[in-house]
Amino acid sequence: MKIKKTLVANFHGADVYKYSLIAHNGFQVDILNYGGIITGVWTPDNKGIFENIVLNYDDINNYIDNPPYLGAIIGRYAGRIGSGKFSIDGIDYQVSTNNSGHTLHGGYRGLDKQVFEVNVLPDGVKLSCISKELDEGFPGSIEFEISYRISDGYTLIIENIGTPSEKTLINLTNHSYFNLSGGKKLATSHQLMINSDKFCSVDSSCLCTGEVLDVSNTPFDFRKLKPIDRDINDAHQQLEIVGGGYDHPYILNTTTDIAAKLFDPISGRSLEVTTTSEALVLYSGNFLVPDKQVNGQHCLEKYFGICLETQNIPNAINVSSKFNQSIYNKDAPFSSKIIWVFQIK
Closest CA relative to residue 97, chosen from 118, 117, 80, 76: 80
Active site residues: 175, 309
- Please give the radius of gyration of the chain, using alpha carbons only, rounded to the nearest integer: 19
Burial (Cβ within 10 Å: 0-12, 13-18, ≥19) of residue 224: exposed
CB 302 within 8 A of CB 55: no
CB 314 within 8 A of CB 208: yes
Per DSSP, the residues of 273-329 read EEESSSEEEEE--TT--TTSEETTTEEP-TTS-BEEEEESPTTHHHH-TTS---EEB
Per DSSP, the residues of 62-99 read GGTT-TT-TT-EE-SBSSEEGGGEEEETTEEEE----B
Question: Alpha carbon 152 to chain centroid distance?
Answer: 23
Q: Is 50 helix (H, G, I), strand (E, B) or coil?
A: strand
What CA–CA distance (Å, rounded) separates 111 from 238?
A: 29
Q: What letter represents residue 151's amino acid?
A: S
